[in-house]
Amino acid sequence: MTVHELTTRLAQGGELIQVSLPCQVVQLRTLRARNGNPYIELEFTDGTASQRVRVWHDHPAYPECRELEEGGFIFLQGVLRRTPWGLSGEELKVRPLTPDEVEELLAGPPDRHVFQEKAYQKVVEFIGKVTDPRLRKLGLSFLEEHGAQFRRAPAAREYHHAYRGGLLEHVAQMLEAASALEPVYPNVNWDLVRVGILFHDSGKLWEHSCGARTLASHSTRVGELLGHIPIGIELVNRLWRDLSHSPEFSLPGEPPAEDVRQHLLHLIASHHGQREFGSPVTPKTPEAWVLHYLDNLDAKLAMLKAAYEETVADLRGIYERRPPLEGRPVEPLPRYRST
Amino acid sequence: MTVHELTTRLAQGGELIQVSLPCQVVQLRTLRARNGNPYIELEFTDGTASQRVRVWHDHPAYPECRELEEGGFIFLQGVLRRTPWGLSGEELKVRPLTPDEVEELLAGPPDRHVFQEKAYQKVVEFIGKVTDPRLRKLGLSFLEEHGAQFRRAPAAREYHHAYRGGLLEHVAQMLEAASALEPVYPNVNWDLVRVGILFHDSGKLWEHSCGARTLASHSTRVGELLGHIPIGIELVNRLWRDLSHSPEFSLPGEPPAEDVRQHLLHLIASHHGQREFGSPVTPKTPEAWVLHYLDNLDAKLAMLKAAYEETVADLRGIYERRPPLEGRPVEPLPRYRST
Amino acid sequence: MTVHELTTRLAQGGELIQVSLPCQVVQLRTLRARNGNPYIELEFTDGTASQRVRVWHDHPAYPECRELEEGGFIFLQGVLRRTPWGLSGEELKVRPLTPDEVEELLAGPPDRHVFQEKAYQKVVEFIGKVTDPRLRKLGLSFLEEHGAQFRRAPAAREYHHAYRGGLLEHVAQMLEAASALEPVYPNVNWDLVRVGILFHDSGKLWEHSCGARTLASHSTRVGELLGHIPIGIELVNRLWRDLSHSPEFSLPGEPPAEDVRQHLLHLIASHHGQREFGSPVTPKTPEAWVLHYLDNLDAKLAMLKAAYEETVADLRGIYERRPPLEGRPVEPLPRYRST
Amino acid sequence: MTVHELTTRLAQGGELIQVSLPCQVVQLRTLRARNGNPYIELEFTDGTASQRVRVWHDHPAYPECRELEEGGFIFLQGVLRRTPWGLSGEELKVRPLTPDEVEELLAGPPDRHVFQEKAYQKVVEFIGKVTDPRLRKLGLSFLEEHGAQFRRAPAAREYHHAYRGGLLEHVAQMLEAASALEPVYPNVNWDLVRVGILFHDSGKLWEHSCGARTLASHSTRVGELLGHIPIGIELVNRLWRDLSHSPEFSLPGEPPAEDVRQHLLHLIASHHGQREFGSPVTPKTPEAWVLHYLDNLDAKLAMLKAAYEETVADLRGIYERRPPLEGRPVEPLPRYRST
Amino acid sequence: MTVHELTTRLAQGGELIQVSLPCQVVQLRTLRARNGNPYIELEFTDGTASQRVRVWHDHPAYPECRELEEGGFIFLQGVLRRTPWGLSGEELKVRPLTPDEVEELLAGPPDRHVFQEKAYQKVVEFIGKVTDPRLRKLGLSFLEEHGAQFRRAPAAREYHHAYRGGLLEHVAQMLEAASALEPVYPNVNWDLVRVGILFHDSGKLWEHSCGARTLASHSTRVGELLGHIPIGIELVNRLWRDLSHSPEFSLPGEPPAEDVRQHLLHLIASHHGQREFGSPVTPKTPEAWVLHYLDNLDAKLAMLKAAYEETVADLRGIYERRPPLEGRPVEPLPRYRST
Amino acid sequence: MTVHELTTRLAQGGELIQVSLPCQVVQLRTLRARNGNPYIELEFTDGTASQRVRVWHDHPAYPECRELEEGGFIFLQGVLRRTPWGLSGEELKVRPLTPDEVEELLAGPPDRHVFQEKAYQKVVEFIGKVTDPRLRKLGLSFLEEHGAQFRRAPAAREYHHAYRGGLLEHVAQMLEAASALEPVYPNVNWDLVRVGILFHDSGKLWEHSCGARTLASHSTRVGELLGHIPIGIELVNRLWRDLSHSPEFSLPGEPPAEDVRQHLLHLIASHHGQREFGSPVTPKTPEAWVLHYLDNLDAKLAMLKAAYEETVADLRGIYERRPPLEGRPVEPLPRYRST
């Protein structure tokens, strides 16, 4: 079972949920009820989602919980009860994970692991097929140098793909969509779009922490001070300079490398589409608009998917509002089948 | 030569332009210069674009121009000069078109005619492949009933695809893009998206006039009073009712027809994406977001294409601002070629 | 006693409130306190307002409450206590209503019933005096066909007239105001305004459910997907078509029926005044502006009335902010009386 | 003939217009054409509207025009021609007005004079019927002290009622509307509303100049620095203080005078409804909302009236956009008449 | 110890806090827990900040707390515990203050008292050096007449300088900043700026109550109805009139007094910089812009200071968001020191 | 005489202006009047402002004007006439500048040259006094490497300081203001603020061209694609890396260099204050707010100065609106002087 599955079960209305969960402690606080009795509030994650549970001082697992540390790896087993104040431990056992279990947990749930492995291969493949040698080299160097961190990063802290590897899934899906549209809009410079997709959110690797052995993520100071767009621009500038003497940058070819660099940076700078959403410039080339819409399309579909899974629908198929989506999602129309 | 080509030539800086143009008179006004001498301001179009020219009272073609009527079909031949106040007739001859020439003009430039013919076939084909019999029947009935008018309509009066047949080209291109994305997002209900694309701007057939023998278009009263979204919803409602007793609506199948109708109307209602852009509701289903982004992507690429063709770039490849695009378009990056 | 009166009493600071209330169960949830003991959260309404009360597991009425069903009709008697977490049952008795009591409850409180009966008669009368036979017939047909549902509908789910029959009261009041203004602005087409008032919110009959035997209302799927403006337009279009062969539509008279239909639809489409408030077009005729301002005036006065009744004022006559009103209402200036 | 009639004739498409106009010179500039020849640009008004005409140096009236002075009173007779650059004098004679003609001109066109005389009597009557002696005294004192200036003031410099006496007409009409609504909303404090209407735009007497012998108006420095809302508040404060020892303020009665003053100032302060439109506070009482909507309703109807008279409609009854109205006005629906 | 220090300690994570606090009772409410047992919620302030504490019915101090009255002066001693629901009394003793202690409390904490005394002297001195005799007299008269109230007023109810004397500190600091900038921008009329600073928020003396013997402040009715900008304008107008016959207003000098008055009122009216923030006009003179930016600069620095003191930072120096600041404050960069 | 003086004279109403102007040709276009006769439109600048003049084909200077080239240096002597269509050459002589005159022109008007020389020395001095050796070294390296270009750059293309050296003047003035405020706000890190001021607009050196021998400036492609904020960030990153092994970066000291770099980049990134004005992040530290307000204060005062000089005031001291200022500037209040 994963924390994401637990979240989905809660959205479906479960009240007493049997859990069997390897996870990492995100935060541990000892608080005190009105009557002075202490309880523990434990936040845990397995990289697919996070939840909080309260363990009361008279619960058998209380002493073990007190010994936990933030960042520790544990196995939660038992029954959680949903209350108006959040989850409460009912029959709960807690034990540390074995070293093997830790590695397994860090690797992610097997199916997601396989899925993300495939996604990563796709990304490598798409970038490998870029015809402009400068852009191809740039993309592959990024993957070599920061691939591991890239594979761990969430695409956002809250809104969409907010889980370990979410950024990779988002980028892979956008690259697929770009390839699909290539024959429809043959005049677009798809080399530029592809490498723009790879780098558009690359600043997020530093905007949020995503350590090798930490499943939770949090904002970083440099993320607060600059935001991911300037960080991504800085990354491309650094890689570009490092690579500027490599053979791929010395081949005779058009357009000039400096033009390519400026257009690529424009894609990163403008990908939020409007200045009020944090882009210092608005899109001014066909490739910038293509990237902007592919990004939004994939993000909105992921937000709706999460809303359908993680919030509650009423009898008429109307779901709860889930920011940043403006309205309340409505159950989609099933595909036709004759009966 | 077409008026669109004339426009492009003007953007490229031409000052004296040799013309040979079959066209229709949009507006004809006799005005008077400061010295009391009259001149004619003649607006003409051939369905690809429109322009205005001034013919001064001492110009040899002045008497013939005085005899023209709005809606008349003429052949303009000679030389136009670009002045700070617009085009001025330099050596101009004007004669009525022959009946054959009129038909040829109404049919459109041969290459655009062929192009739009293909586009129309694509639309028919895409709709014909819709699996839900209700949606397929609805789309095909629209094409049967209003196909001729649909093929004449511009997609907008100013912003993009603002020429005869522009709406058809826009719809065909969006359908292509939708088909391309189908394998990338297999969970989307593409039947619904396809028929949504067909109808999303269908209200424009009545929002702007687009008569069979009139190449110019203008706003209609019902267009001003309602806008194309409510008109398109009314169209679907009328067709739906007319077809509700047809065999295709009586086949056993899921989901129920009423669900299908509501979801289709939602796609039309929400396709502008935000209420401040005229949508009474925001998108609430995956299909509504897909339609919204495909619409915007195709429109923005068409706007940029028009800006590159019809406005002037400076030496650094920066074009003039062309509303509704916010910034100044920049010359796109050419594709890589080794040298 | 009504639930609205209970709400007012709470706003006035009551802490222990004696109740004697026939009402319907809206929602019934069994929850569990921290100590594992269960309690019931019971939401109830009588069509004038709704409230929630908690019944703890050791309360004598707990067993009977457990047997309740959503939609059931009950009599609540006893004492409710206001706590920081909402109402709590103190000395509470619960019994099913008798069939007679159910009918009485569905009919509404006698004074409101009488009031709304008069309001309905006024509406019928105002519409009956419309001089244009097409508009008069349209309005009367709506009342015949949907009058019962119209009389049950609230004008909104939260903001103003949010109770059974609220829409009727709102429409009747607006019709009164329109008649009052007729001599002041004699050039306005008041026939059109009157029928516009009748239909402006008619889409709300389907945007929110308002069943014959259900006092609570909730959003419908079609309401979420289209909003009440397109639904109202669809209603008028359907009625118009159904009536287009009736004698009233065949009398010789000006202006043509199609002009009338378009102008009426414009009133519905534009009545929110701005696109960001959900109107696909802004008002473009005198009648559209008149309707827009009469609607807002009546709504704002109703919102203030509710704020004065249902929220708490401080010693200086400043009330709590109550969205969507922007600021905090201030106690109005009493009328002058000499002393 | 009035300048307003001239404006209407131009909107209806007249090209050569016979004029016979007593008016005042607003501005007189000698400019020079490209060939170095001078011409005069003459702006004139009669208090109903203003226009500009060019008189070329070879026109017979040129020498007389050169002798004119700003503020001078003249009679314009002859023919004006509409050109793309504005009006041009065709056969024009100019002579000074006789003293009697000047007085007649300052009195305004007879029908407007009669109309405004009636309007003023209505205002006096409405204020005279106010029951609160403080408010009544305040209103009557304002009319005594500033009545002459009040009768000259326009309601705005551009948007609505932008002519001599326009503010009076606007206030009289709003007072009529308020009286009409009194029985519909009997709980509103109509004394307060009435006196609020009288004073809501009173700051405009100083925001724009409106001298006794000057028909044109222009912004004043205090108007630019403060705007009419703070100026109106200052006026009421000064009058209130001056009157605070008058008998009407010493009668025993409720509510206290200070409460009345604060509520009246609130009506002035909040009458634009939103802070972005220049109100330092938003409406917080029923009377403030009533005033706000009556003001907007009357202003919007006046704007539409001016648009219908002064701009050009196309064949489909769609008028030109005229700021601040957002969309293009549409020809209103005529009242029903059987044929 | 002050309540502000208590607040800071809570932000730093304290859970059991030893208190020894002279303060005034702001609000006292007896509420009831779920089990029916009563408890007291006590809000208290000492003019530096305010807090709430709950005293349960079984706490030894409960009986004394029941006897307290709003506005009473008390000494709180003991231990407060932070719980998820706010502060709870742990070992608490409550006694009335002695008359001497009351005076001491009203005088404020000694260091703040000294600080504010200095600030007031600075204000007097700065205004005393104004060269224009009208402006100087106006400022000094305000200080004479309302100085005591001015020294008590907070600068805001929530956002910055929200404590007794906060307005004085804000004004003194702005005057210092103005003097510092005088040599940098010598063309600005600093006389006008200085007196503008003194009066810009003077309306707040009446917008919020700030009684001589009451440490808490609350909104007043006139504040809700007008806001502090019109109140401040009224104040200056009244003082101006009262002083208009004083010798300082009769000295021969330029510019005329009326010009000075209008420019000063403009500074008050426009100091929020934009109409959507409540200014009826935007700044139109250099002095108005200078005042606007000095106000904002001082306010923003005070908001950040409060955020650093009163909210919690994470390990990376990122603080909690604290409206109206838009983003999350970041720990500032310490000054350089060599090591 | 300078072009700026010419502009001021035009604003003051001059119609025939004697000129004696060394300048550079910005643009040269041969156009044609309605009668077919050609004329030249000549745009010229001397780095203080730019203007256009028309030279008609029958003017004695026409042949020489035809020989001019864009970028050429010329001396304009004679009389210019103001016409409704812009300036027209009346008695005009044109000759090339001598090499000495060219150098003199490029150096700028002597008084501005001296003024900017002083400004530059101030900047060097202020940066030289920065205590943090990393920040000081960074600032001085920028001045060494790009000082010449920095001294040529305008601060904006239109809004304020839009002339050669304008950026330098703006930066110097802001540094003066910062030094003045240092004792008022001693807790601010003024080292950081000073270097932030130096770099805040440094991206403008590349956003607009400002060549050594070209007085006109125009947008660059990289400026359009990125904007000056990302360009400035890139500049600091490059300098930082280049300097990271210099002795100043190796001294023992606190805070760490990486912290300093992040905070400095934050100042550049956030200096527009809001995302809708192009800042990817909003200010989050005291230094960022200080920089933002000093920038705005200096810019607004410069805009007003330009408006007072270059637009026309009416008799009441109200100037024309000059974007981006929102309202119409008002003549400032003169300083007091006794008479």
pLDDT at F205: 95
Q: Taking CB atoms and an 8 Å limit, are B280 and C277 in contact across chains?
A: no
Does the bond joining C183 to the residue before it have cis omega, within 30 degrees of 0?
no
A81 at the B interface (CB within 8 A)?
A: no
Q: What is the pLDDT of residues F123-180, one digit of tens each?
A: 999 999 999 999 999 999 999 999 999 999 998 877 778 888 999 999 999 999 999 9
The amino acid that residue E39 corresponds to is Y
F250: Cβ contacts below 8 Å, ≥ 6 apart: none
Q: Which of F221, F229, F275 sits opposite A262 (nearest CB)?
A: F221
Q: How many CB pairs under 8 A join A and B?
A: 145
Characterize B34-60 residue by residue with b for buried, 16 or more Cβ atoms within 10 angstroms of its Cβ, and e for exposed. Answer: eeeeebbbbbbbbbbbbbebbbbbebe
C34 at the A interface (CB within 8 A)?
A: yes
pLDDT at B14: 73
**φ and ψ at A139, to 5 degrees?**
-65, -45
Contact flag for C and F (3+ C-beta pairs < 8 Å): no
The 10 Å Cβ neighbour count of residue B111 is 9
F293 at the D interface (CB within 8 A)?
A: no
Q: Which of B34, B220, B225 sits opposite D83 (nearest CB)?
A: B34
| Optimal mutation site among E242, E275, E277, E289, interface D, most CBs of chain D within 10 A | E275
**Neighboring chain A residues of C221 at a CB cutoff of 8 Å:** 316-318, 330-331
Q: What is the pLDDT of residues A272-308, one digit of tens each?
A: 999 999 999 999 999 999 999 999 999 999 999 999 9
Q: Taking CB atoms and an 8 Å limit, are A84 and C218 in contact across chains?
A: no
Q: Taking CB atoms and an 8 Å limit, are A330 and C219 in contact across chains?
A: no
- Residues C154 and C164 sit within 8 Å (Cβ to Cβ): yes
Superfamily classification of domain D3-102? Nucleic acid-binding proteins (2.40.50.140)
- The interface residues of chain C toward chain A in range 3-32, judged by CB-CB distance below 8 A, are 31-32
Q: What is the mean pLDDT of residues F72-82?
A: 91
Instruction: Return the residue of C nearest to E209 by Cα.
Output: C316
SS3 B92: strand
Which of D293, D271, D291 shows the shortest CA–CA distance to D282? D271
Below-70 pLDDT ranges, chain B: 33-36, 84-85
DSSP summary character for residue C97: P
d(CA D95, CA D78): 12
| Half-sphere exposure at residue F322, Cβ-oriented, CA atoms within 13 angstroms | 23
Sequence ranges of the domains in chain B:
3-102, 109-302
Q: Taking CB atoms and an 8 Å limit, are F269 and A226 in contact across chains?
A: yes
d(CA E90, CA E84): 15
Instruction: Return the residue of E nearest to F261 by Cα.
Output: E333
Q: Taking CB atoms and an 8 Å limit, are C265 and B230 in contact across chains?
A: yes
- Residues D8 and D48 sit within 8 Å (Cβ to Cβ): no
Which of D85, F38, F57, F35 shows the shortest CA–CA distance to B59? F35
Q: Which of E255, E293, E328 sits opposite F284 (nearest CB)?
A: E328
E306 CA to chain D: closest CA distance, Å?
A: 28
pLDDT at C19 over 70: yes
E190-200 vs E110-128: helix axis angle to the nearest 10?
140
| Optimal mutation site among A31, A318, A319, A328, interface C, most CBs of chain C within 10 A | A318
d(CA D116, CA E132): 47
pLDDT at A89: 86
Q: Taking CB atoms and an 8 Å limit, are E234 and D229 in contact across chains?
A: no
Q: In the complex, which subunits touch A with 3 or more CB pairs below 8 angstroms?
A: B, C, E, F
A316 at the B interface (CB within 8 A)?
A: no
F333 at the E interface (CB within 8 A)?
A: yes
B114: Cβ contacts below 8 Å, ≥ 6 apart: none
**Neighboring chain D residues of B221 at a CB cutoff of 8 Å:** 316-318, 330-331
pLDDT at D159 over 90: no
The dihedral through the CA atoms of B69, B74, B79, B84 has a sign that is: positive
Q: Which of C230, C279, C281 sits opposite B233 (nearest CB)?
A: C230
B220 at the A interface (CB within 8 A)?
A: no
Supply angle C-alpha C178, C179, C185, rounded to 5: 75
Report the length, in residues, of chain C: 339
**Neighboring chain F residues of A262 at a CB cutoff of 8 Å:** 221-222, 225-226
Supply angle C-alpha C31, C37, C41, rounded to 5: 30
C182 CA to chain E: closest CA distance, Å?
A: 33
List the beta strands (DSSP E) in E185-301.
Answer: 253-254
- Judge residue A156's burial from the number of C-beta atoms within 10 Å of its C-beta, 0-12 exposed, 13-18 middle, 19 or more buried: buried
Q: What is the pLDDT of residues C283-314, one digit of tens each?
A: 999 999 999 999 999 999 999 999 998 888 88
Q: Taking CB atoms and an 8 Å limit, are E284 and D224 in contact across chains?
A: yes
The 10 Å Cβ neighbour count of residue C60 is 13
Q: Which residue has the tokens 């001859």?
A: B93
Which of C34, C50, A2, F138 shows the shortest CA–CA distance to C42? C50
3-state DSSP of B248-274: HHCCCEECCHHHHHHHHHHHHHHCCCC
Q: What is the pLDDT of residues F54-70, one digit of tens each?
A: 998 889 999 989 889 88
Characterize B145-180 residue by residue with b for buried, 16 or more Cβ atoms within 10 angstroms of its Cβ, and e for exposed. Answer: ebeeebbbbbbbeebbbbbbbbbbbbbbbbbbbbbb
Q: Taking CB atoms and an 8 Å limit, are C180 and D176 in contact across chains?
A: no
Q: What is the pLDDT of residues D284-304, one digit of tens each?
A: 999 999 999 999 999 999 999
Q: What is the pLDDT of residues D85-120, one digit of tens each?
A: 678 888 899 999 999 999 999 888 888 889 999 999
Q: What is the pLDDT of residues A168-180, one digit of tens each?
A: 999 999 999 999 9
Instruction: Return the residue of C nearest to A328 by Cα.
Output: C224
d(CA B41, CA B30): 6
**Neighboring chain E residues of C91 at a CB cutoff of 8 Å:** none
- Provide the pLDDT confidence category of residue A90 given band limits of 50, 70 and 90: confident
Instruction: Return the residue of D nearest to B34 by Cα.
Output: D83
Torsion of CA D20, D24, D26, D30, to 10 degrees: 60
B210 CA to chain D: closest CA distance, Å?
A: 14
Supply angle C-alpha B286, B287, B289, rounded to 5: 65
- Provide the pLDDT confidence category of residue E310 given band limits of 50, 70 and 90: confident
Q: In the complex, which subunits touch B with 3 or more CB pairs below 8 angstroms?
A: A, C, D, F
Q: How far is CA C114 from the centre of its chain?
A: 16
Q: What is the mean pLDDT of residues E312-328?
A: 89
C227 at the B interface (CB within 8 A)?
A: yes
Q: In the complex, which subunits touch C with 3 or more CB pairs below 8 angstroms?
A: A, B, D, E
pLDDT at D10: 83
Q: Which of B221, B224, B281 sits opposite C226 (nearest CB)?
A: B281
Q: What is the pLDDT of residues D38-61, one digit of tens each?
A: 888 899 999 888 899 999 888 999
- Judge residue D298's burial from the number of C-beta atoms within 10 Å of its C-beta, 0-12 exposed, 13-18 middle, 19 or more buried: buried
Per the prediction, chain F carries an average pLDDT of 92
- Residues B199 and B268 sit within 8 Å (Cβ to Cβ): yes
Supply angle C-alpha A186, A190, A193, rounded to 5: 135
Q: Taking CB atoms and an 8 Å limit, are E221 and C330 in contact across chains?
A: yes
pLDDT at F91: 85
pLDDT at B9: 86
Q: Taking CB atoms and an 8 Å limit, are A218 and E83 in contact across chains?
A: no
pLDDT at F189 over 90: yes
pLDDT at E34: 58
pLDDT at B11: 78
D95 at the F interface (CB within 8 A)?
A: no
